[in-house]
Amino acid sequence: MKFFPDFRNQFSGYQSALKPKDVVRLNANEGRVLNPYREYPLKRNEKILEQFANLYGVEKMNLIADRGVDGILELIFLVFNSPTTRVLTSAPTYGMYKILADIYGQEYFEVPLKGDGSLNSEFLLQSQRPGQIIIICRPNNPTGDICPKEQIEEVLKATQGNSLVVLDEAYADYLDSKEQGLDLLTRYQNLLICRTLSKYYSLAGLRVGFGIANSALVEKLIPYQSPYPVPSIVSDWLVENFNEDFISSANEEFQQMEIEKLKLIEVLTAFGKVKDSKSNFVNLYTAESKRLYETLKSFNVEVRLFEQLNFLRFSIGTQSEMQRLYTSLEHIR
């Protein structure tokens, strides 16, 4: 695995206490009052891994669960941090990549996206440099752009396995399955895909996300993970509730969200140029972005301002949240 930092190869990580059946475990210093959460959780909860391996059409060994995609990204930055690592991504994109690069003291290099949302040829050129964490956010936050899938393959080919390519698919559940990147995994050993329960499945508060990659890469990451990445109360909740009915209602909710999104687009058109996305947000481009942001804030409605780029990002919220937004916008018009 050329792209894995050599100096990390010998590390085996913290060995958390396992609990085989029928063994009296007096080796973990847990408290002695009986309650459902007395014991430390498992580092790799097989039930959860199986459940989500099925959802993503991979094997358990291809999956690593953590505290949201943010937790997975943090793990990646921790493991691939070396004095020469460079982070390559396109701009504008999800702000945590830069923050993590700053935290880990890594060089951060951004190449602007093209106007049509595709990756710049400069990005492809830069991806040839070895020893990088290359991050592609698709659909991209905050622009909603979806770069052509062929470009991801071009990047994967350009790296020749010398860098890690991270495909942040936090919003990919909103895409048709063939538009998603999961099928690339069998062909590229240096690809890691991030998925989350926070967006399409409306479970941001659980803090669960997944890294999906070939098993050799997953095995390399596991030792660096914190000993108990998913709390028992969260995995219990998922085992109990994240079933076929839950997925069907998320799919139905997606249809409702699309209707709401069309309504929002119609309302926002009065304020500037609206850009739809295949995600759960739309963007309003206007030279008045700051003023509109402040005004909405005065109505206690928070949207996301990208002042330098002259746009506002509106998440599609609950019905009552959207109603508050529409009422505020009516007052502003």
Ligand X SMILES: Cc1ncc(COP(=O)(O)O)c(C=O)c1O
Q: Which is nearer to ligand X, 94 or 267 (CB)?
A: 94
Q: Give the type of residue at 318.
A: T
Q: How far is the CB of 326 from ligand X (least distance, A)?
A: 24
**Minimum distance, C-beta of residue 39 to ligand X, in the bound complex (Å):** 26
Q: Contact between 69 and ligand X (CB under 6 A)? A: yes
Shortest gap between Cβ of 225 and ligand X (angstroms)?
15
| Nearer to ligand X among residue 90 and residue 198 (C-beta) | 198
Does 216 interact with ligand X (rule: CB under 6 A)?
Answer: no
The residue among 135 and 325 lying less far from ligand X, judged by its C-beta, is 135
Binding mask 92-131 for ligand X (x = CB under 6 A): --x-------------------------------------
Say which residues have a Cβ less than 8 Å from residue 59's Cβ, sequence separation at least 6.
53, 215
Question: Of 132, 110, 115, 123, whose CA–CA distance to 154 is shortest?
Answer: 123
Query: x/- contact string, 166-195, with ligand X (CB under 6 A)?
Result: --x-x-------------------------
Q: In whole angstroms, give the CA distance from residue 126 to residue 142.
A: 22
Q: Which stretch binds ligand X (CB under 6 A): 3-11, 34-42, 45-53, 196-204?
A: 196-204
- Which segment (42-50, 64-72, 123-131, 297-305) binds ligand X by CB under 6 A? 64-72
* Span near ligand X by CB under 6 A; candidates 40-48, 63-71, 121-129, 238-246: 63-71
41, 68, 92, 211: residue in contact with ligand X (rule CB under 6 A): 68
> Least separation, in Å, of the C-beta of 24 and ligand X?
38
Which of the ranges 65-73, 222-230, 249-257, 298-306 carries the binding residues for ligand X, by CB under 6 A? 65-73
The answer to whether 141 contacts ligand X (rule: CB under 6 A) is yes
Nearer to ligand X, 267 or 312 (CB): 312
Residues 6+ apart with CB under 8 A from 137: 89, 90, 93, 94, 168, 170
Q: What are the φ/ψ torsions at residue 54 (nearest 5 degrees)?
A: -65, -45
For the bound state, the minimum distance from the C-beta of residue 69 to ligand X, rounded and expressed in Å, comes to: 4
The site that binds ligand X (CB under 6 A) totals a number of residues, namely 12
Shortest Å distance, C-beta 144 to ligand X? 11
d(CA 55, CA 109): 34
Beta bridge partners of 306: 311
**Chain positions contacting ligand X, by CB under 6 A:** 68-70, 94, 137, 141, 168, 170, 196, 198, 204, 209
